[in-house]
Amino acid sequence: MSKKKTPKEKKDAAYERKHYTFAWNSPQGFQKSWKKKKNRVNRVVRRKSKALLHSIEGLSYTELSPEQESFTDQLFRKGLSKKKLRKIGVVSLREKVEQKIADRKNHSGFNVHNRARQIEGFRGVLF
C-alpha cells in the first residue's frame, strides 16, 4: 500500500509534474495564440509581396531596368524578409510561478510612478 501524501507533498509533486507553455492568456490558449502569431507574420509577408508587385506593375516596359525585367521567383523571395517565429519553451509549474512572482515585483507600483512622472511633466509645462 502506498503512503498517504501530506498536502505539502502533493503540492510539491504538482509543481514538478505539471508543465506549461507561456500563451499569456490561459494554459489552453497556446494553440489559439500561436495561430494568430503565425497568421500575423504571414500577413506581413503578403503585404510586402503585394507592394513589391504593385511597384513593378505600375512601371511601363520602357522604364524597367534590366534587373526588373528579369524578375524571377528567386529575386522576389530575396526581396522579402520573413520574421522568424519562436516558440517559448515548456516550463514546470514551479518555474512558471517563480517567473510570475518576479514579474509582479518588477511591475509593482508602475502606475504610481508613471502617474507621478505625468504630473511632473504637466507642471513643468505650466510653470
Collapsing DSSP states into helix, strand and coil, what is residue 19? strand
User: Are residues 23 and 81 both part of a single domain?
Assistant: yes
* Pure H helices in 58-109: 66-69, 73-79, 93-107
This model's pTM is above 0.95: no
DSSP, res 59: S
Total domains, the chain:
2
User: Are residues 22 and 84 both part of a single domain?
Assistant: yes
Rounded Cα distance between 81 and 71, Å, is: 17
Classify residue 11: in a domain, yes or no. Answer: no
Portion of the chain with pLDDT greater than 70, in percent: 70
User: Are residues 73 and 60 both part of a single domain?
Assistant: yes
Classify residue 8: in a domain, yes or no. Answer: no
Domain that holds residue 106: 90-127
User: Are residues 56 and 73 both part of a single domain?
Assistant: yes
CB 88 within 8 A of CB 21: yes
Distance of CA 39 to CAs 45, 89, 102, 114, Å? Answer: 10, 20, 31, 34
Classify residue 4: in a domain, yes or no. Answer: no
CB 44 within 8 A of CB 122: no
Cell triple for 45:
509577408
pLDDT exceeds cutoff 80 at 120:
no
45-95 pLDDT per residue, tens: 888 888 777 776 766 555 666 666 565 556 666 667 777 887 777 888 898
Give the pLDDT confidence score for residue 7 in this predicted structure. Answer: 94
Classify residue 77: in a domain, yes or no. Answer: yes
